[in-house]
A and B are shown apart, each in its own frame.
Chain A
Amino acid sequence: MAAKDLGGGAGNNTVIGQSILISGKLTGDEDLTVQGRVEGELTLTRTLIVEPSGVVKANVAVKNAIISGVVVGNINATESVELTREGRMVGDIRAPRVIIVDGASFRGRVDMGDVEPGRLPAERPQRPVIRPQVRPGAAPPRPPPPPARSAPTAVERRPSAPPAPPSAPPRPPPPPAATAAKVEAPTPPLVGAGAKKKVIIKKKTK
């Protein structure tokens, strides 16, 4: 009961009020809101919020930092650092995620660590592997759709059939099996039965 009376209903968060100056070392395992001044060293396992009236002149190590006030010093965050529109900072930022919003003022270095080392190597091998697979794989899938749509599309495409033939000539370069499939693909509306036969041929080739 005494605590309630004293605390005035204070929540879990720590708040450093506007007129407060802390100089020295500050550590903690909870969110910290700074409206006043903190100088020295600041270490948290959670989030530091520097409000527009707040001034932090310290080396900061936190999980997240949201800066709307002034920070002079280096920030080392395990998760993210966000400089909001009102944020001003001089110092180096080291965090995997760094967000600097339009209007923020910042001078210093940013280090996001290795730029996601896992992703780039993963994408590079995939692309070359997929391309060769797509060429042979693409031919079989093309025939199936035409026969299904052949009935309705045939009526619609017949008037537009003329343009299809010119498109066929450029395709000859690929191997004969592929050319047969591709030639038919554009012209499925003309012969639905032919498409089915060709599908069978492809299966045999496989």
Chain B
Amino acid sequence: MANTVIGSSIVIDGEISGDEDLVIQGTVKGKISLKESLYVEGSGVVEADIETQNVEIAGRVTGNIAASDKVELKSECRVVGDIKAPRILIADGASFKGNVDMDEKAR
């Protein structure tokens, strides 16, 4: 429970930054930058540019994602935006529209 959790009824309009894991069950608009992992749960809605180490998405994300390690799109997610990361996983059933860039040089 040390993680930060944004509950399902919470709406944040602005910027979130931090050095720890973040779980989003609610709505975040704006910008997210973390040094750890971001989890967007099934009920989570993110309309933001994301900069983290890892991202796991089971909810809805609209925005560009840049991860220094890995981006994982789970089977029920809906993602619109560009993804840039050395490792990108897209599960069967995931919905995704955008560019993918796995170029490690970009790091």
Per the CB 8 Å criterion, the residue count for chain B at the interface is 36
- The yes or no answer to A177 lying at the interface (CB within 8 A) is no
Beta-carbon contacts under 8 Å, B9-24 to A: 9-23
Q: Is the Cβ of B12 less than 8 Å from the Cβ of A25?
A: yes
Alpha-carbon gap, A152 to B39, bound state (A): 82
Beta-carbon contacts under 8 Å, A24-42 to B: 24-30, 32, 36, 40
Q: Is the Cβ of B14 less than 8 Å from the Cβ of A22?
A: yes
Q: Is the Cβ of B5 less than 8 Å from the Cβ of A20?
A: no
Shortest B29–chain A CB gap in Å is: 8
- The yes or no answer to A23 lying at the interface (CB within 8 A) is yes
Which residues of B sit under 8 angstroms from A25, Cβ to Cβ? 11-14
Q: Is the Cβ of B43 less than 8 Å from the Cβ of A3?
A: yes
Shortest A13–chain B CB gap in Å is: 6
Which residues of A sit under 8 angstroms from B39, Cβ to Cβ? 6-7
Q: Is the Cβ of B41 less than 8 Å from the Cβ of A6?
A: yes
Q: Is the Cβ of B14 less than 8 Å from the Cβ of A24?
A: yes
- The yes or no answer to B30 lying at the interface (CB within 8 A) is yes
- The yes or no answer to B7 lying at the interface (CB within 8 A) is yes
- Take A17-B4, A24-B15 as given contacts and tell me if A32 and B20 are in contact as well, using a CB distance cutoff of 8 Å: no
Q: Is the Cβ of B20 less than 8 Å from the Cβ of A28?
A: no
Alpha-carbon gap, A26 to B5, bound state (A): 13
A: contact size bracket: 20 to 34
Q: Is the Cβ of B7 less than 8 Å from the Cβ of A12?
A: yes
Shortest B63–chain A CB gap in Å is: 15
Which residues of A sit under 8 angstroms from B3, Cβ to Cβ? 8, 10, 15, 17
- Take A6-B58, A20-B17 as given contacts and tell me if A27 and B41 are in contact as well, using a CB distance cutoff of 8 Å: no
The chain B residue sitting closest to A2, CB to CB, is: B58
Which residues of B sit under 8 angstroms from A26, Cβ to Cβ? 10-14
Q: Is the Cβ of A20 less than 8 Å from the Cβ of B16?
A: yes
- The yes or no answer to B106 lying at the interface (CB within 8 A) is no
Which residues of A sit under 8 angstroms from B1, Cβ to Cβ? 8-11, 15
The chain A residue sitting closest to B77, CB to CB, is: A2
Beta-carbon contacts under 8 Å, A70-101 to B: none
Shortest B59–chain A CB gap in Å is: 9
- The yes or no answer to B25 lying at the interface (CB within 8 A) is yes
Q: Is the Cβ of A21 less than 8 Å from the Cβ of B18?
A: yes
Alpha-carbon gap, A58 to B58, bound state (A): 31
Alpha-carbon gap, A40 to B75, bound state (A): 35
Q: Is the Cβ of B75 less than 8 Å from the Cβ of A2?
A: yes
- The yes or no answer to B42 lying at the interface (CB within 8 A) is yes
Alpha-carbon gap, A11 to B78, bound state (A): 24
B residues engaging A (CB < 8 A)? 1-23, 25-26, 30, 39-43, 56, 58, 74-76
